Structure 1
Protein backbone atom coordinates (compact mmCIF):
# COMPACT_ATOMS: atom_id res chain seq x y z
CA UNK A 1 0.00 0.00 0.00
CA UNK A 2 1.44 3.37 -0.92
CA UNK A 3 1.58 6.40 1.35
CA UNK A 4 -1.30 8.17 -0.39
CA UNK A 5 -3.67 5.19 0.03
CA UNK A 6 -2.62 4.94 3.67
CA UNK A 7 -3.30 8.67 4.12
CA UNK A 8 -6.79 8.31 2.57
CA UNK A 9 -7.59 5.33 4.78
CA UNK A 10 -6.26 7.18 7.84
CA UNK A 11 -8.53 10.15 7.10
CA UNK A 12 -11.54 7.92 6.40
CA UNK A 13 -11.10 5.77 9.54
CA UNK A 14 -9.08 7.90 11.96
CA UNK A 15 -10.78 6.34 15.02
CA UNK A 16 -9.47 2.88 14.15
CA UNK A 17 -6.30 3.75 12.21
CA UNK A 18 -5.19 6.44 14.67
CA UNK A 19 -2.85 8.25 12.26
CA UNK A 20 -2.70 9.47 8.69
CA UNK A 21 0.88 8.36 8.04
CA UNK A 22 2.48 4.96 8.26
CA UNK A 23 5.37 4.36 10.63
CA UNK A 24 8.78 5.26 9.23
CA UNK A 25 11.43 2.59 8.77
CA UNK A 26 13.38 4.38 11.51
CA UNK A 27 10.53 3.97 13.97
CA UNK A 28 9.97 0.33 12.98
CA UNK A 29 13.66 -0.47 13.38
CA UNK A 30 13.89 1.33 16.72
CA UNK A 31 10.91 -0.60 18.12
CA UNK A 32 12.44 -3.91 17.03
CA UNK A 33 15.94 -2.94 18.21
CA UNK A 34 14.61 -2.44 21.75
CA UNK A 35 13.34 -6.02 21.91
CA UNK A 36 14.88 -9.48 22.10
CA UNK A 37 13.44 -10.52 18.74
CA UNK A 38 16.29 -12.95 18.03
CA UNK A 39 15.15 -15.09 21.04
CA UNK A 40 11.40 -15.00 20.30
CA UNK A 41 9.25 -18.02 19.49
CA UNK A 42 5.85 -16.28 19.54
CA UNK A 43 5.24 -12.62 18.69
CA UNK A 44 1.99 -10.67 18.61
CA UNK A 45 1.53 -7.45 16.67
CA UNK A 46 -1.47 -5.30 17.59
CA UNK A 47 -2.71 -2.85 14.99
CA UNK A 48 -0.64 -4.24 12.10
CA UNK A 49 -2.00 -1.65 9.66
CA UNK A 50 -0.65 -2.08 6.16
CA UNK A 51 2.21 -4.32 7.33
CA UNK A 52 5.08 -1.85 7.38
CA UNK A 53 6.21 -3.09 10.83
CA UNK A 54 5.00 -6.64 10.13
CA UNK A 55 7.42 -7.06 7.23
CA UNK A 56 10.35 -5.80 9.31
CA UNK A 57 9.45 -8.17 12.16
CA UNK A 58 9.28 -11.12 9.75
CA UNK A 59 12.68 -10.18 8.32
CA UNK A 60 14.34 -10.18 11.74
CA UNK A 61 12.53 -12.89 13.72
CA UNK A 62 13.84 -16.48 13.90
CA UNK A 63 12.73 -19.02 11.30
CA UNK A 64 10.87 -21.09 13.90
CA UNK A 65 8.98 -18.09 15.32
CA UNK A 66 5.26 -17.37 14.74
CA UNK A 67 3.82 -13.87 14.33
CA UNK A 68 0.12 -13.23 14.96
CA UNK A 69 -0.82 -9.86 13.46
CA UNK A 70 -4.10 -8.31 14.64
CA UNK A 71 -5.90 -5.82 12.41
CA UNK A 72 -9.58 -4.86 12.06
CA UNK A 73 -9.46 -2.59 8.99
CA UNK A 74 -10.55 -4.56 5.89
CA UNK A 75 -8.34 -2.60 3.48
CA UNK A 76 -5.29 -3.24 5.64
CA UNK A 77 -6.21 -6.93 6.07
CA UNK A 78 -6.20 -7.34 2.28
CA UNK A 79 -2.69 -5.83 2.20
CA UNK A 80 -1.49 -8.08 5.03
CA UNK A 81 -2.87 -11.18 3.27
CA UNK A 82 -0.56 -10.44 0.33
CA UNK A 83 2.48 -11.06 2.55
CA UNK A 84 3.71 -14.52 1.67
CA UNK A 85 5.26 -15.95 4.81
CA UNK A 86 4.08 -19.18 6.49
CA UNK A 87 5.14 -17.82 9.91
CA UNK A 88 2.51 -15.05 9.70
CA UNK A 89 -0.97 -15.60 11.12
CA UNK A 90 -3.39 -12.80 10.31
CA UNK A 91 -6.08 -12.19 12.91
CA UNK A 92 -8.85 -10.06 11.40
CA UNK A 93 -10.23 -9.51 14.86
CA UNK A 94 -10.07 -7.41 18.00
CA UNK A 95 -6.89 -7.62 20.03
CA UNK A 96 -9.13 -8.57 22.96
CA UNK A 97 -9.20 -12.08 21.44
CA UNK A 98 -5.48 -12.84 21.69
CA UNK A 99 -6.02 -15.95 23.82
CA UNK A 100 -8.39 -17.48 21.25
CA UNK A 101 -5.74 -17.23 18.52
CA UNK A 102 -3.03 -18.64 20.77
CA UNK A 103 -5.32 -21.59 21.62
CA UNK A 104 -6.34 -22.11 17.96
CA UNK A 105 -2.68 -22.39 16.93
CA UNK A 106 -1.49 -24.38 19.98
CA UNK A 107 0.73 -21.56 21.17
CA UNK A 108 1.07 -20.79 24.85
CA UNK A 109 3.16 -17.89 26.05
CA UNK A 110 4.13 -14.87 24.00
CA UNK A 111 7.67 -13.49 24.00
CA UNK A 112 6.97 -10.05 22.52
CA UNK A 113 3.92 -7.88 21.89
CA UNK A 114 4.46 -4.96 19.50
CA UNK A 115 1.54 -2.53 19.50
CA UNK A 116 0.65 0.43 17.34
CA UNK A 117 -2.97 0.47 18.51
CA UNK A 118 -4.28 4.04 18.80
CA UNK A 119 -5.18 3.86 22.48
CA UNK A 120 -5.80 7.60 22.58
CA UNK A 121 -8.97 7.07 20.51
CA UNK A 122 -9.98 3.65 21.87
CA UNK A 123 -12.38 3.64 24.84
CA UNK A 124 -10.41 3.50 28.11
CA UNK A 125 -12.02 0.21 29.24
CA UNK A 126 -11.11 -1.49 25.97
CA UNK A 127 -7.55 -0.13 26.12
CA UNK A 128 -7.15 -1.39 29.71
CA UNK A 129 -8.53 -4.78 28.72
CA UNK A 130 -6.19 -5.18 25.73
CA UNK A 131 -3.10 -4.17 27.71
CA UNK A 132 -4.03 -6.47 30.62
CA UNK A 133 -4.71 -9.38 28.24
CA UNK A 134 -1.37 -8.71 26.53
CA UNK A 135 0.41 -8.83 29.88
CA UNK A 136 -1.38 -12.03 30.89
CA UNK A 137 -0.20 -13.93 27.78
CA UNK A 138 3.41 -12.76 28.05
CA UNK A 139 6.00 -15.21 29.29
CA UNK A 140 8.07 -14.15 32.32
CA UNK A 141 10.48 -11.45 31.06
CA UNK A 142 8.21 -11.06 28.00
CA UNK A 143 8.28 -7.63 26.39
CA UNK A 144 5.46 -5.25 25.49
CA UNK A 145 6.41 -2.35 23.18
CA UNK A 146 3.86 0.35 22.40
CA UNK A 147 4.13 3.16 19.85
CA UNK A 148 2.60 6.46 21.01
CA UNK A 149 2.70 10.03 19.77
CA UNK A 150 2.62 11.52 23.28
CA UNK A 151 3.33 10.38 26.83
CA UNK A 152 -0.19 11.07 28.15
CA UNK A 153 -0.94 7.34 28.54
CA UNK A 154 2.37 6.42 30.24
CA UNK A 155 0.69 6.14 33.67
CA UNK A 156 -1.64 3.44 32.30
CA UNK A 157 1.35 1.23 31.43
CA UNK A 158 3.01 1.98 34.78
CA UNK A 159 -0.18 0.92 36.56
CA UNK A 160 -0.32 -2.39 34.66
CA UNK A 161 3.38 -3.25 34.25
CA UNK A 162 5.19 -1.15 36.85
CA UNK A 163 8.38 0.12 35.23
CA UNK A 164 8.15 1.69 31.77
CA UNK A 165 11.16 2.62 29.63
CA UNK A 166 10.63 5.42 27.11
CA UNK A 167 12.49 5.86 23.83
CA UNK A 168 11.99 8.72 21.38
CA UNK A 169 12.12 8.55 17.58
CA UNK A 170 12.15 12.02 16.02
CA UNK A 171 12.49 10.69 12.47
CA UNK A 172 8.82 9.87 11.99
CA UNK A 173 5.74 11.91 11.10
CA UNK A 174 4.68 12.68 13.73
CA UNK A 175 7.70 12.04 15.99
CA UNK A 176 6.95 9.03 18.18
CA UNK A 177 7.61 7.52 21.56
CA UNK A 178 8.16 3.84 22.23
CA UNK A 179 7.04 2.63 25.64
CA UNK A 180 8.70 -0.63 26.66
CA UNK A 181 7.38 -2.78 29.49
CA UNK A 182 8.73 -6.11 30.71
CA UNK A 183 6.61 -8.67 32.55
CA UNK A 184 8.26 -9.37 35.90
Structure 2
Protein backbone atom coordinates (compact mmCIF):
# COMPACT_ATOMS: atom_id res chain seq x y z
CA UNK A 1 0.00 0.00 0.00
CA UNK A 2 2.74 2.50 0.99
CA UNK A 3 4.75 1.76 -2.15
CA UNK A 4 1.71 2.17 -4.42
CA UNK A 5 0.76 5.47 -2.78
CA UNK A 6 4.35 6.71 -3.02
CA UNK A 7 4.62 5.80 -6.69
CA UNK A 8 1.28 7.46 -7.48
CA UNK A 9 2.30 10.66 -5.66
CA UNK A 10 5.71 10.66 -7.35
CA UNK A 11 4.11 10.36 -10.80
CA UNK A 12 1.74 13.24 -10.05
CA UNK A 13 4.25 15.47 -8.21
CA UNK A 14 7.86 14.40 -8.93
CA UNK A 15 9.42 17.72 -7.90
CA UNK A 16 7.87 17.70 -4.42
CA UNK A 17 7.80 13.96 -3.67
CA UNK A 18 11.26 13.16 -5.01
CA UNK A 19 11.17 9.35 -4.55
CA UNK A 20 9.34 6.42 -6.07
CA UNK A 21 9.51 4.36 -2.87
CA UNK A 22 9.29 5.09 0.84
CA UNK A 23 12.56 5.28 2.75
CA UNK A 24 13.98 2.09 4.24
CA UNK A 25 13.98 1.33 7.96
CA UNK A 26 17.80 1.60 7.80
CA UNK A 27 17.63 5.14 6.48
CA UNK A 28 14.97 6.04 9.05
CA UNK A 29 17.20 4.75 11.85
CA UNK A 30 20.22 6.67 10.57
CA UNK A 31 18.17 9.88 10.26
CA UNK A 32 16.95 9.76 13.87
CA UNK A 33 20.21 8.46 15.39
CA UNK A 34 21.39 12.00 16.21
CA UNK A 35 18.21 13.00 18.04
CA UNK A 36 18.55 13.21 21.82
CA UNK A 37 15.06 12.06 22.71
CA UNK A 38 15.65 12.59 26.44
CA UNK A 39 16.16 16.33 25.86
CA UNK A 40 13.95 17.06 22.84
CA UNK A 41 10.84 19.10 23.63
CA UNK A 42 9.85 20.02 20.07
CA UNK A 43 10.47 18.05 16.88
CA UNK A 44 9.28 19.11 13.42
CA UNK A 45 9.18 16.85 10.38
CA UNK A 46 8.98 18.25 6.86
CA UNK A 47 7.54 15.96 4.19
CA UNK A 48 6.79 12.89 6.31
CA UNK A 49 5.16 11.09 3.37
CA UNK A 50 3.65 7.88 4.72
CA UNK A 51 5.38 8.27 8.09
CA UNK A 52 8.45 6.00 8.11
CA UNK A 53 10.49 8.55 10.13
CA UNK A 54 7.40 9.63 12.07
CA UNK A 55 6.88 6.08 13.40
CA UNK A 56 10.40 5.98 14.81
CA UNK A 57 10.18 9.51 16.23
CA UNK A 58 6.89 8.78 17.98
CA UNK A 59 8.17 5.47 19.35
CA UNK A 60 11.27 7.08 20.89
CA UNK A 61 10.06 10.52 22.01
CA UNK A 62 9.19 11.38 25.58
CA UNK A 63 5.46 11.45 26.29
CA UNK A 64 5.32 15.26 26.53
CA UNK A 65 7.48 15.97 23.45
CA UNK A 66 5.51 17.89 20.82
CA UNK A 67 5.85 16.66 17.22
CA UNK A 68 4.66 18.75 14.26
CA UNK A 69 4.36 17.16 10.80
CA UNK A 70 4.22 19.41 7.73
CA UNK A 71 3.05 17.55 4.62
CA UNK A 72 2.31 19.22 1.27
CA UNK A 73 0.64 16.23 -0.44
CA UNK A 74 -3.08 15.97 0.35
CA UNK A 75 -2.93 12.19 -0.11
CA UNK A 76 -0.02 11.73 2.31
CA UNK A 77 -1.60 14.22 4.73
CA UNK A 78 -4.84 12.24 4.77
CA UNK A 79 -2.94 8.98 5.27
CA UNK A 80 -1.05 10.49 8.23
CA UNK A 81 -4.25 11.90 9.78
CA UNK A 82 -5.89 8.47 9.66
CA UNK A 83 -2.78 6.60 10.81
CA UNK A 84 -2.13 8.83 13.83
CA UNK A 85 -5.67 9.71 14.86
CA UNK A 86 -5.77 10.12 18.62
CA UNK A 87 -1.97 10.41 19.01
CA UNK A 88 -1.25 12.93 21.77
CA UNK A 89 1.11 15.88 21.31
CA UNK A 90 1.14 15.39 17.55
CA UNK A 91 0.04 18.07 15.10
CA UNK A 92 -0.31 17.42 11.38
CA UNK A 93 -0.50 20.26 8.88
CA UNK A 94 -1.35 20.06 5.17
CA UNK A 95 0.94 22.78 3.87
CA UNK A 96 4.43 23.90 2.89
CA UNK A 97 7.56 24.02 5.03
CA UNK A 98 7.94 27.58 3.70
CA UNK A 99 5.27 28.54 6.26
CA UNK A 100 6.89 26.83 9.25
CA UNK A 101 7.08 30.06 11.25
CA UNK A 102 3.32 30.52 10.92
CA UNK A 103 2.62 26.90 11.96
CA UNK A 104 4.79 27.26 15.05
CA UNK A 105 2.87 30.37 16.11
CA UNK A 106 -0.43 28.56 15.49
CA UNK A 107 0.53 25.71 17.84
CA UNK A 108 2.40 27.91 20.38
CA UNK A 109 5.74 26.24 19.72
CA UNK A 110 8.61 28.57 20.65
CA UNK A 111 11.89 27.19 19.25
CA UNK A 112 12.52 23.68 17.91
CA UNK A 113 15.12 21.13 19.01
CA UNK A 114 15.15 19.11 15.77
CA UNK A 115 13.81 19.46 12.26
CA UNK A 116 13.79 16.20 10.30
CA UNK A 117 13.28 16.62 6.58
CA UNK A 118 12.29 14.33 3.75
CA UNK A 119 12.09 17.22 1.28
CA UNK A 120 13.80 16.70 -2.10
CA UNK A 121 15.98 19.83 -2.11
CA UNK A 122 17.62 18.70 -5.36
CA UNK A 123 14.34 19.07 -7.28
CA UNK A 124 12.85 22.02 -5.39
CA UNK A 125 13.45 25.48 -6.87
CA UNK A 126 16.56 27.03 -5.34
CA UNK A 127 14.57 30.03 -4.08
CA UNK A 128 12.11 27.73 -2.28
CA UNK A 129 14.95 25.65 -0.82
CA UNK A 130 16.73 28.77 0.45
CA UNK A 131 13.53 30.11 2.00
CA UNK A 132 12.88 26.82 3.81
CA UNK A 133 16.47 26.55 5.06
CA UNK A 134 16.58 30.16 6.29
CA UNK A 135 13.30 29.76 8.15
CA UNK A 136 14.48 26.45 9.56
CA UNK A 137 17.65 28.07 10.85
CA UNK A 138 15.56 30.80 12.50
CA UNK A 139 13.19 28.39 14.30
CA UNK A 140 15.89 26.13 15.75
CA UNK A 141 17.14 26.52 19.30
CA UNK A 142 20.82 27.49 19.57
CA UNK A 143 21.72 23.83 20.00
CA UNK A 144 19.10 22.68 17.48
CA UNK A 145 19.79 20.41 14.52
CA UNK A 146 18.34 20.14 11.04
CA UNK A 147 18.55 16.56 9.75
CA UNK A 148 17.79 15.74 6.13
CA UNK A 149 18.52 12.99 3.67
CA UNK A 150 19.35 13.47 0.01
CA UNK A 151 20.21 11.08 -2.78
CA UNK A 152 23.11 13.26 -3.98
CA UNK A 153 25.28 15.97 -2.45
CA UNK A 154 24.44 18.26 -5.37
CA UNK A 155 22.92 20.89 -3.07
CA UNK A 156 25.39 20.59 -0.18
CA UNK A 157 26.56 24.19 -0.74
CA UNK A 158 22.96 25.31 -0.25
CA UNK A 159 22.92 23.67 3.20
CA UNK A 160 26.33 25.22 3.94
CA UNK A 161 24.89 28.67 3.21
CA UNK A 162 22.51 28.24 6.17
CA UNK A 163 24.50 26.00 8.52
CA UNK A 164 28.12 26.18 9.62
CA UNK A 165 28.50 22.56 10.68
CA UNK A 166 27.34 19.65 8.52
CA UNK A 167 28.00 16.01 9.31
CA UNK A 168 27.43 13.65 6.38
CA UNK A 169 26.70 9.93 6.71
CA UNK A 170 25.86 7.43 3.98
CA UNK A 171 23.13 4.78 4.03
CA UNK A 172 23.57 2.18 1.31
CA UNK A 173 20.64 0.00 2.44
CA UNK A 174 18.08 2.27 0.83
CA UNK A 175 16.72 2.45 -2.73
CA UNK A 176 18.45 4.54 -3.93
CA UNK A 177 21.32 4.86 -1.43
CA UNK A 178 21.14 8.15 0.48
CA UNK A 179 23.22 10.70 2.34
CA UNK A 180 22.10 11.89 5.78
CA UNK A 181 23.11 15.44 6.62
CA UNK A 182 23.00 16.69 10.22
CA UNK A 183 23.23 20.47 10.08
CA UNK A 184 23.75 22.87 12.97
CA UNK A 185 25.30 26.16 13.97
CA UNK A 186 27.61 26.72 16.94
CA UNK A 187 25.93 27.83 20.16
CA UNK A 188 25.63 31.53 20.83
CA UNK A 189 27.86 32.78 23.63
1:60 corresponds to which residue? 60
1:72 corresponds to which residue? 72
1:37/1:112 contact within 8 Å kept: no
Normalised to the residue count of structure 2, the TM-score between the two structures is: 0.93
CA separation in 2, counterparts of 1:9 and 1:160? Answer: 29
Q: Alignment partner of 2:35: what SS? A: coil
**What is the deviation of 1:4?**
2.2
**What is the deviation of 1:5?**
2.5
Unaligned runs of at least 5 residues, structure 2? none
Unaligned runs of at least 5 residues, structure 1? none
Deviates more, 1:8-17 or 1:69-78: 8-17
1:23 corresponds to which residue? 23
Computed over aligned residues only, the root mean square deviation of the Cα atoms, in angstroms, reads 1.1
1:3 corresponds to which residue? 3
CA separation in 2, counterparts of 1:152 and 1:36? Answer: 28
2:45/2:116 contact within 8 Å kept: yes
Matched, 1:171 2:168: no
2:42 corresponds to which residue? 42
2:81 corresponds to which residue? 81
List structure 1 runs of 4+ shifted beyond 2 angstroms. none
Deviations 1:31-71 (A, max 9, x none): 10122233110011011111111111111111111111111
CA separation in 1, counterparts of 2:45 and 2:27? Answer: 15
**What is the deviation of 1:80?**
0.6
2:165/2:185 contact within 8 Å kept: no
Normalised to the residue count of structure 1, the TM-score between the two structures is: 0.96
Matched, 1:161 2:173: no
1:41/1:111 contact within 8 Å kept: yes
